[in-house]
Amino acid sequence: MRVIRYDRQYSRRKFLRDCAAGILGTGVLCPLAQAIADTGTIEKAYPEELLSIEGFTKGRIKTGDVIDASNVEHVKDLLEPVRYEQLLKLGRRLKTLPTTRDAMRLSPWEYIEATLRNAGKAKFDAKGNVVNAADGEPWIGGNPFPDPKTGLELFAAQTLNWGRHDASTYAFKEFEISGKDGKVRFNYAGVWAEFSPVARVVLEPKPYWPEHKDKLRYQTVCFLSPTSFRGTSFLNIWDYDHSTFPNLYGYVPEFRRVRQFPTTQRFEPLVPGSSLYLSDAWAAGDPLHTWGNYRIVGRGPFLAGLSGNWNPSHPNWECGVHGGAAGQSFWDTSVELIPETIIVEAEPLKFPRAPISKKRVWFDARNNAVVGMLTFDRRGQPYRSFDGAYDLYEKGSDRHMDGAHPYWSWVHVTASDIQTGDITRLNQVRVLEGSHRSGANDPDIYNKYLTQAALIKLGASSA
């Protein structure tokens, strides 16, 4: 018989104790950041029972098993309530994979290198902006707070660089599933581009694009289909000041031109049938200080997709679906036991009529990436739940490279409207229309997607 030195209750007690005391020190056996810096893995930081699903469930669920209605009770504590209900009642299934222990597989390679290289160099300045402590200039790359102590630090890192690349393009397909019959009611295809002029770790000039050092991000979302929405696009230009709303420009096919939109228009559905807002992006779609009351409300293990989800067997990386009344509601998803997540809540302080009152976000302590989000309506009732899957894009002999290393990114996202049962599914695909390709660190995306001239070009055929 194997003696477990630190049993499940030990970890649980430590998470509860630290959380109650307002202490955030990731890792159970030793500081997680230290373990990663020393060994590149997380094994020293957590006991065995947090490093495998077998260990956590005492063998009731084994790695490789599928979680469904028959066994979901064993992992109820590892799920937010919405996924639990979907597994129990709507036929959702999750395949289990081993917990990723190699930290280099949990973010883009260069981002992790910069995180390690720049550890301890970040601070908040008097305005609350993340700066390089040495000179007060904008941040220089990687996660500024790899050993976070507060919810604000977690959100600051998330807001600074969503996709963890200097530039990212995501060709995506979006499906809106009706809660009434489980059928796809609307589907869209489009492209999302985000580009960092600061904190650059790959693109020259580094760490800043000097002419644009006052900006945090350029970001565009453009819809390519259906025809009636083709060319609909929105360009957000983020100021580096974390309290300033982004400038918002949009190309609406009906108007045939680029128009300026109010910067506060961040809680509006972009296209019919969708309940996704700009504010939802990466669980941190708004400037850091337009939200507030960041507070850590919990810690503990969690089930989420961090590996094994990229589908190179489909020529366009499209994932399979299952579940729901019509078998179309959920992505085929692989999940792993995350030893520790940090649960942070925040409120939309500068949006007086936002339809949501707060959000609760789960961060993976290993890489500080968002692995789940639950938003609440103005009455405080659960409103929408977001879960997704990341991956390092290599599987067997198939690889999609980002420079010298495999591409790391999100694979798919599921947003569930708890109140209506409607579900939005997003899938990052390889390419749309031959020219809109998912990938990272292509400097040309600035002119292709992120200027007003680019919006006019994207609206070309709707002209």
Partner 1 sequence: MRKAIEKQIATATAAAMLAVVSGPASALDGWNWAGMDIKVGGFLRQETAISTTGDKNVANQNGNVFQDRTVERQAYLPPEMSANLVRWGDLPIPFADTVRRSDFVPNDENDINYMIMRGEIEMGIRISDRVSFNSRLRAIYQPNVYDDFNGDSVSGFQGGITGGDSKLYHGQPNYMQYIVEGDRHPLPLEWSGRNYQVYFPTFFFEVTPGNGTTAIRIGNQQIAWGQALFFRTLDVPNGLDLRRHLILDKGLEEFSDKRTPQPSIRITSQLTDTLLVDAYISKFTPTVFGNPNTAYNVIPVQFTVHDMYAKNGLDEWDKVSFGLRFKGDYGQFGWQAGAVRRYNPDGVFRWTESGVVKPFDQSLGSVGSIVNTTYALKLPAAVGCPGEFDPTICRLYGSAAEAMSHSPFEVAPAGVYTADEWFSYAASTRLQAIEGFNAAVRDFPALQDAFQSEVADATELRAALNTDFMAAGGSLRGHLAREYFKETNLMLGGSYVLESENEFLNQLIFNLEAQYTPDRVFTAPDLSKGFKETDEYILSLVVDKWHRFSNDFPGTYLVFEILTKNKSDLVGRLLEGFDGSETKSAGGLSGNANYFVFGMTQPFPNKVFEVDFASLYDLRGGVFLQPLVRWNVRGNVTLEAFYNYVDGGLYGNPNNNLLSTIDYADEITIRASLKF
> Among residues 242, 384, 412, 448, which is the contact residue for partner 1, using CB under 8 A?
448
305 touches partner 1 (CB under 8 A) = no
Contact 253, 231 (CB under 8 A): yes
φ, ψ for residue 392, nearest 5 deg: -90, 125
Nearer Cβ to partner 1 (87/191): 191
325 touches partner 1 (CB under 8 A) = no
Amino acid identity of residue 367, one-letter, is: N
454 touches partner 1 (CB under 8 A) = yes
Give one word for 438, left, alpha or beta, with left for phi > 0 and alpha for psi -120 to 50: beta
380 touches partner 1 (CB under 8 A) = no
For 159-172, give the secondary structure using H, E and C.
Answer: HHCCCCCCEEEEEE
Contact 291, 346 (CB under 8 A): yes
Nearer Cβ to partner 1 (2/379): 379
Nearer Cβ to partner 1 (70/461): 461
CA 39 to chain centre: 26
Site for partner 1 in 54-83 (CB under 8 A): none
In angstroms, what is the minimal distance from the CB of 431 to partner 1? 8
> Among residues 58, 378, 398, 403, which is the contact residue for partner 1, using CB under 8 A?
378
Which one of the spans 6-14, 108-116, 120-128, 449-457 is the region binding partner 1 (CB under 8 A)? 449-457
180 touches partner 1 (CB under 8 A) = no
Residue 340's nearest CA partner among 282, 298, 277, 391 is 298
CA 448 to chain centre: 24
- Beta carbons within 8 Å of 80's beta carbon, 6+ residues apart: 362, 372, 374, 385, 387
Which one of the spans 9-17, 99-107, 220-228, 332-340 is the region binding partner 1 (CB under 8 A)? 220-228
> Among residues 249, 363, 393, 410, which is the contact residue for partner 1, using CB under 8 A?
249
- How would you class 222 by CB atoms within 10 Å of its CB: exposed for 0-12, middle for 13-18, buried for 19 or more? buried
Structure tokens at 367: 């890489």
In angstroms, what is the minimal distance from the CB of 362 to partner 1? 25
Nearer Cβ to partner 1 (5/256): 256
> Among residues 293, 313, 381, 435, which is the contact residue for partner 1, using CB under 8 A?
435
In angstroms, what is the minimal distance from the CB of 351 to partner 1? 9
Which one of the spans 76-84, 147-155, 391-399, 428-436 is the region binding partner 1 (CB under 8 A)? 428-436
| CB under 8 A, 24+ apart: contacts of 208-216 | 208/137, 208/138, 213/137, 213/138, 213/240, 214/239, 214/240, 215/239, 215/240, 216/138, 216/160, 216/240, 216/242
Alpha-carbon distances, residue 71 vs 8, 39, 68, 177, 309 (angstroms): 19, 35, 6, 26, 21
In angstroms, what is the minimal distance from the CB of 316 to partner 1? 9
453 touches partner 1 (CB under 8 A) = yes
261 touches partner 1 (CB under 8 A) = yes
> Among residues 256, 293, 327, 349, which is the contact residue for partner 1, using CB under 8 A?
256
Return the half-sphere exposure (C-beta side, CA atoms, 13 A cut-off) of residue 439: 17
451 touches partner 1 (CB under 8 A) = yes
Nearer Cβ to partner 1 (35/418): 418
**445-448-450-454 Cα dihedral, nearest 10 degrees:** 180
φ, ψ for residue 44, nearest 5 deg: -70, -15
110 touches partner 1 (CB under 8 A) = no
Instruction: Give ∠ CA 429-435-441 in degrees, rounded to 5.
Output: 75
What is d(CA 183, CA 329) in angstroms, rounded to the nearest whole number?
8
> Among residues 29, 119, 184, 325, which is the contact residue for partner 1, using CB under 8 A?
184
Contact 215, 237 (CB under 8 A): yes
447 touches partner 1 (CB under 8 A) = yes
Which one of the spans 69-77, 113-121, 252-260, 299-307 is the region binding partner 1 (CB under 8 A)? 252-260
What is the contact mask toward partner 1 in residues 265 to 284, using x (rule: CB under 8 A)? x-xxx-xxxxx---------
Question: Which residues contact partner 1 (rule: CB under 8 A)?
Answer: 176, 184-187, 211-212, 224-228, 230, 237, 239, 247, 249, 253-257, 259-265, 267-269, 271-275, 352-355, 377-378, 422, 432-435, 444, 447-448, 451-454, 456-457, 460-463
